[in-house]
Structure 1
């Protein structure tokens, strides 16, 4: 008889294409996972996996089995979610995704709050770019995600958590560094440093600055590298307050210039599938996070560098 365990293991293998990584994802040893996959193959009478020296690849038959198994596992998750909801609000396991331009700067402060106030909630965290989070959320590999809104996806429900305004980061000894505030018009002739393609923050900044997406720009992998380049005069960038307030930039050779209203900002929110049985939990969680963030004492952001 085919078991849910076997289907879960096969799904993990399809996502990782490696027996060891798949075993780590589902929390078992590699031999245990391999044995279950082999048993499933024997039951079905066909190979599900092509075993390679560098990893594993599903056969055509294996891919079709995983595709059909996804709906079965999603329904099982829904049943498990129902039991968690009836046990009480915000309890049980929650698979939470978060974008890289938010995770490192929000989670160190948010997680202690959640541990103290939601002790029955067990989080499994996943940090990656928006496109991947959305795909995994719709495929039921995540329960909810913290991303920039709007989602643009009608199958999702979302609730705002907080607004995150942008500052213009410039070298303190540059001509722009002598200004007291930022002006979009002054950015037309300067080198803009952005995150690499795939990050929603990049797209937002291009939109704010009215820069065509296909314009060649200096691109890097993380916000810390952006600061290092700005500091040495390599260009300027827009940085979210969530990042600037978490990194002690006042001690570096960087000035953070506020924009005149209406200042550019992004809205950070929690999103989940509208059909998820835990939707009521996620609305409660969003309300609690929003209330917690609103109560934080504002960290002063230096414009003097």
Structure 2
């Protein structure tokens, strides 16, 4: 039988290729530097070729070493998926689960759903990682994340996904602005305004433009926000208008500011919130249950919001219904 590398040897090689430093790689693998170095030397002897170029001051992978390390990542991830599959057969909703979430979802959705998840899945240890969509998908591909909460549509690659909710857009403008006098705003009206958007890299930027049917719409060229809270402050200072998703409005993001929100009309004035995971993952049942719980929590919030809006309409007339529903401040 042909001798084969061990998973431990491959893991050590990947760690060194990633860091180009034996000491840092050994620390990441929780072993001594001598143990790690000896293991890689055994791997090189097994394969009959050097995988690393060593000097007194540095270590670099050879071209073959880099290629083997990339293939090793896939083998290591496959082994992890086998373990996950076995554990999931016993209790899908137990143990650690590393979940990515984008910045335009995390601060507004997570405080609402975490109590539900803790109560529904008491044995699940949920670890959150907030980042932009492209970087979350990269971490998902390498196995650093198990799943991610994203805003769709987005070219996510070879993943499986389940929809959680539709998150409608509203136009936010100062009180007294021409858009504030109507019960809803049309995309053509928004196109005439200085539209404040998030900086490149945030998918909400593209979703907002798509909701207004704008490919290169008029926008404030002097400012690009890094967060929705910053955009709101810029609107309050009279620099333009912006589009916010409903979950941000429900969190009370406009509280204390002389701003109003008007629902956006149009063909698809919303973004989709979805849970995505690797197609090869062994925890698909866990993700389906997680998606179901998230969907239920979001639907319950929408029902409560609808009841609040109806109550305001009955009490104060149609004008009150056009205002964003009051919400509890996010934790």
TM-score range, shorter chain: 0.7 to 0.9
Q: Aligned partners of 1:254, 1:10: CA distance in 2, in Å?
A: 55
TM-score (norm 2): 0.77
Deviations 1:71-116 (A, max 9, x none): 2111111111112111123222222111111011111222222222
The structure with more radius of gyration: 2
Deviations 1:150-183 (A, max 9, x none): 4545632211111111110112243334444212
How far did residue 253 of structure 1 move? 1.7
Instruction: Name the CA shift for 1:151/1:188 in 2 (closer, same or farther; >3 Å).
Output: closer
- The residue correspondences of 1:1-305 to structure 2 (distance < 5 A) are 4-5=7-8, 7-8=10-11, 11=14, 28=30, 32=31, 34=33, 37-44=36-43, 46=50, 48=52, 60-153=63-156, 155-213=158-216, 217=221, 218-260=223-265, 262=267, 264-296=269-301, 297-298=304-305, 302-303=323-324
Aligned residue pairs, count: 300
Q: Aligned partners of 2:280, 2:171: CA distance in 1, in Å?
A: 40
3-state SS in 1 of match to 2:93: coil
TM-score (norm 1): 0.82
Instruction: Name the CA shift for 1:34/1:205 in 2 (closer, same or farther; >3 Å).
Output: farther
Checking the alignment, whether the CA contact within 8 Å between 2:194 and 2:218 is kept in structure 1 is no
Q: Aligned partners of 2:237, 2:193: CA distance in 1, in Å?
A: 14
How far did residue 8 of structure 1 move? 3.9
How far did residue 62 of structure 1 move? 4.4
Q: Which runs of 5+ in 2 are unaligned?
A: 45-49, 310-321, 327-331
Q: Aligned partners of 1:80, 1:10: CA distance in 2, in Å?
A: 21
Q: Which runs of 5+ in 1 are unaligned?
A: none
Q: Aligned partners of 1:16, 1:223: CA distance in 2, in Å?
A: 35
Q: Aligned partners of 1:181, 1:52: CA distance in 2, in Å?
A: 68
Q: Aligned partners of 1:191, 1:20: CA distance in 2, in Å?
A: 52
